Structure 1
């Protein structure tokens, strides 16, 4: 408010002096400022009475000037940005309103309109250090402060040792700062502040804390400094390996490398010259000659020791050698680490882990009749057939051949003896030192192919 020139007025009473001032200045009661100079005294006689005297000055409203100043400040300093509706092109009139900018409450109260502040339930609001509650009418000299408390969430971390893998892992969950703030609010006659929250990562883990923990756990081997620094600067939960030992590497056990294919099996049918399938040549029987290398023995390899994260040596297991139980027809060449056939025949290999039972069977025994479904028999050793040899079949052997029943329209060849307990009907029977038969037998010796499969006789 701005004060004008002071005038003096008199009257019989104070009220009369005031009325005189109002008429003279053409002003209402709320437009003048009155100071009493003399109240006047009532004496016994009328001529002895003193008159009341007052000093009066006009008061002029400064609202318009203040609003002009506020608008200028808003324009020059960009204190806030009052939202505009899509249809509005002019700012909202701020008279009698309050607004919030960057957490600060601003208000414009007039004699006719005073804004109201509604205190939020989740915040503390003070006016000149006096705590407010409920609803508060904002006045000219109010100084409003919002007291908001930041919440701290502590960083969590753990260090674990994996004995099986010999690793040490660090799991860290960074803490947080939950910072409340008062959201900006457009000008309104009734304003209720809205408390919002801003979260900030607050990883409190220090590298020295991790190293102290490792020392307490007596971890000394394979510490990864870079991984520790990454964990201490992590912005989100993560698990990192911060130390690694070396696991022991067990050695390799010895092996048998077979030089021949030892698995008896059916073969694909061969095609005859006329284009038909030859079902008779459909059986493979492994066989070896005297002096032939059956297999090579591969030595085991030693293991490599490891080291734990605590610096302890972790013993490795050395590889174990194969064990050979040599049966009939088998010789072992220690210098060459080789298994040699001491006689011709069919090799019998039985394996149980690293134990190999090996022998040479000089006889191939075929139970029952020999027909096209079984295929022809060519064998270096003796052959025995307990049934008939059906039409069109061939039996060739370097050793003796024995037929328990009949031979019908078939071919039987042996470098030694042939014994037929039944009849030989329209069949070719050849026995003795026949070089053609021997040469044919040499041609069917199979190409060596290392195998470790079990083969039953």
Structure 2
């Protein structure tokens, strides 16, 4: 163990000599450290003594230990010739001569006492917690020093202080205020009393005392930030006394309560249902009767109208109102066979028929489609049939006759060289020979018109912006607009960045021409606007930007009209078709097959028999049992890109087309499942 002496004298040399004497060593046997050099004051006043630390080398300690057997002489602090009054807690020790305290040191009531006599000198060790001075010489933490009679011992303990930290956070919507606390505290240290001992290690007890935050300071800050609503005063007090780091909700706004939009509740069945096939009298099963149309009677409740419920406004922490989201009601249009109740909350049927409910956004259209039952054939004797509702014909439709219904048509006999038009669905139990059939054709037109109108709407909106910019350009003066209207600007733009708009307008006109029989007065007015506004630039009737804006709004309105929900009762079912033209706005089912027929449908084409010759198009795909012709008449099957053609047996010579990709089969092939991959190549 290291043996050292700290000595003080008028000069460094005197202090070293005193230490060597105490250690009974020579300069060659020790390490000398000058801790403080002497200093002379003016006129002999305020002089400063020298302080040295002299440590015996390790090998000398071993030699002395061998010579001295079990006893080591005490190491003490040399007595100083000047006593410097201590500045902190200190106690020079002279105690009554008590046998059990001789050569010991102890702490009582916070004071250090020791009893040194002759070679019986107690030791004291400094620690990190307690700073120690012997005769005003600081003792390093962990160092042990022998106490001699007359030494002045002083120690200090220092409290640790951490001030509390807090801040106020208001969320982005000003609905919550949080107080974030980092607790403050003071650690109070006190030296522990110790009974008399030969070796005293200075220790201190620690007590933690938390520092509260003043609630008035928090409230003052809230006022500065204009927080006036929803304060939780008890929570503020609790937060200010918190002894842990935490976040407290100290103010909260009142959320707005959302209302509910109005809506329409359908109270009757409006969809066609698949039913179990019926058994004939002879015991066989008739698989042709598998759909059933819903029906209501006069006075039946069709649906209920629920008005909107307005929400309740809230308040944020600044005391400002928080508006509830706006609500909307439904707009109900009553059609044929329906009426509103006196309170305007019920829709009732006024006739027997099939209920039709079309919900599009906020708009609800309700109507009753009546049913006409025609017994016998449709011939010259009966005349053509035009009916606003469903039609059921128990006989045949003969040559040159026409049946047109704003609803569903069910024909139990043959259709021979006739014309059939149904806006909803068509079921022909027997054969269709040399006839023209259109089912849900308006939806075919809508399907073609929708993407074109979408482009026209986007392009005309951009066109309006472009014209406003060109109006401010030097090349086009306001006087030019006043004299010639928008024609010069449209001419320039159509030859530049708006070539696509001109192309889409022409495409829409061709689409209208294909379906001109379906066009009503509303569409005719729109066509006239296109012709006179865009396609005849020498005399365009678009004079101002307001004229063009009205066209944009009309386009948006018509686009909403063509984007209709999918109606599951737009379909057609046939037994056998020959030499006919068929147009259907939904799926088509054929039992026996088709021969030399032109068929186009907007849904899936399913044929449990054969297709022999003709051109067949199905937007959503095909599933055919057998297709192809042995002979000169070719058979072509076409679907939209993304759809699949599935043919159980495909004869050689048949043409398949998916999108713009075409393939000609030269040999008979079984189980063909054709589609396009990501590279737009056929996959079988």
Q: Which TM-score band (shorter chain)?
A: 0.5 to 0.7
Distance 1:419 1:307, change over 3 A: closer
Alpha-carbon distance in 1 for matches of 2:391, 2:235:
72
1:177 equivalenced with 2:186 (yes/no): yes
Equivalent position of 2:146 in the other structure: 137
Equivalent position of 1:222 in the other structure: 230
SS at match of 2:97: helix
SS at match of 1:339: strand
Alpha-carbon distance in 1 for matches of 2:176, 2:204:
46
- Pick one of 333, 336, 339 that aligns with 1:331: 339
State whether residues 256 and 297 of structure 1, in contact with CA within 8 Å, keep that contact through their aligned partners in structure 2: yes
Alpha-carbon distance in 2 for matches of 1:281, 1:181:
101
Alpha-carbon distance in 2 for matches of 1:247, 1:64:
77
Alpha-carbon distance in 2 for matches of 1:209, 1:106:
48
Q: How far did 1:224 drift?
A: 1.9
Larger CA deviation: 223-232 vs 325-334: 325-334
Distance 1:236 1:347, change over 3 A: same
1:236 equivalenced with 2:244 (yes/no): yes
1:402 equivalenced with 2:381 (yes/no): no
1:67 equivalenced with 2:98 (yes/no): yes
1:96 equivalenced with 2:112 (yes/no): no
Deviations 1:200-258 (A, max 9, x none): 3222x111101110111011112222111111122222222222222222322112233
Distance 1:400 1:174, change over 3 A: closer
SS at match of 1:300: coil
State whether residues 263 and 454 of structure 1, in contact with CA within 8 Å, keep that contact through their aligned partners in structure 2: no
Q: How far did 1:121 drift?
A: 4.7
Q: How far did 1:327 drift?
A: 4.4
- Structure 1, unmatched stretches of 5+, are 1-62, 72-93, 269-278, 365-379, 386-398, 406-417, 423-452
State whether residues 167 and 180 of structure 2, in contact with CA within 8 Å, keep that contact through their aligned partners in structure 1: yes
Equivalences for residues 181-196 of structure 1 within 5 A: 181-183=190-192, 187-195=196-204
Equivalent position of 1:295 in the other structure: 303
SS at match of 1:164: coil
Larger CA deviation: 113-122 vs 293-302: 113-122
Equivalent position of 2:175 in the other structure: 166
Equivalent position of 1:259 in the other structure: 267
Equivalences for residues 2-13 of structure 1 within 5 A: none
Alpha-carbon distance in 2 for matches of 1:328, 1:175:
79
Alpha-carbon distance in 2 for matches of 1:359, 1:153:
79
State whether residues 299 and 351 of structure 2, in contact with CA within 8 Å, keep that contact through their aligned partners in structure 1: yes
Alpha-carbon distance in 1 for matches of 2:96, 2:108:
23
- Pick one of 304, 317, 327 that aligns with 1:319: 327
SS at match of 2:98: helix
Alpha-carbon distance in 2 for matches of 1:316, 1:64:
85
1:118 equivalenced with 2:149 (yes/no): no
Equivalent position of 1:306 in the other structure: 314
Alpha-carbon distance in 2 for matches of 1:123, 1:135:
13
Alpha-carbon distance in 1 for matches of 2:363, 2:110:
85
- Structure 2, unmatched stretches of 5+, are 1-93, 277-286, 373-388, 395-407, 415-426, 432-564, 570-684
Distance 1:212 1:112, change over 3 A: same
State whether residues 179 and 248 of structure 2, in contact with CA within 8 Å, keep that contact through their aligned partners in structure 1: yes
Distance 1:317 1:118, change over 3 A: closer
Alpha-carbon distance in 1 for matches of 2:160, 2:337:
88
Alpha-carbon distance in 2 for matches of 1:250, 1:233:
38
State whether residues 95 and 114 of structure 2, in contact with CA within 8 Å, keep that contact through their aligned partners in structure 1: no
Alpha-carbon distance in 1 for matches of 2:189, 2:310:
66
Distance 1:263 1:116, change over 3 A: farther
Deviations 1:380-430 (A, max 9, x none): 965689xxxxxxxxxxxxx9963257xxxxxxxxxxxx99647xxxxxxxx
Equivalent position of 2:606 in the other structure: none
Alpha-carbon distance in 1 for matches of 2:153, 2:413:
121
Alpha-carbon distance in 2 for matches of 1:241, 1:219:
13
SS at match of 1:66: coil
State whether residues 344 and 381 of structure 1, in contact with CA within 8 Å, keep that contact through their aligned partners in structure 2: no
Equivalent position of 2:253 in the other structure: 245
Equivalent position of 2:540 in the other structure: none
SS at match of 2:234: helix
State the TM-score, normalized to the length of structure 1.
0.53
Q: CA RMSD in A?
A: 4.2
SS at match of 1:297: strand
Larger CA deviation: 330-339 vs 224-233: 330-339
Alpha-carbon distance in 2 for matches of 1:307, 1:113:
82
Alpha-carbon distance in 2 for matches of 1:103, 1:281:
109
- Pick one of 208, 211, 219 that aligns with 1:211: 219
Deviations 1:157-206 (A, max 9, x none): 11111243612121212112123344565654333324564433222x11
State whether residues 165 and 247 of structure 1, in contact with CA within 8 Å, keep that contact through their aligned partners in structure 2: no
Alpha-carbon distance in 2 for matches of 1:188, 1:284:
109
The structure with the largest helix share of the pair is 2
Alpha-carbon distance in 2 for matches of 1:64, 1:305:
83
Alpha-carbon distance in 1 for matches of 2:392, 2:194:
107
Alpha-carbon distance in 2 for matches of 1:240, 1:330:
60
Q: How far did 1:265 drift?
A: 5.8
SS at match of 2:235: helix
SS at match of 1:359: strand
Alpha-carbon distance in 2 for matches of 1:295, 1:218:
51
State whether residues 348 and 455 of structure 1, in contact with CA within 8 Å, keep that contact through their aligned partners in structure 2: no
SS at match of 1:321: coil
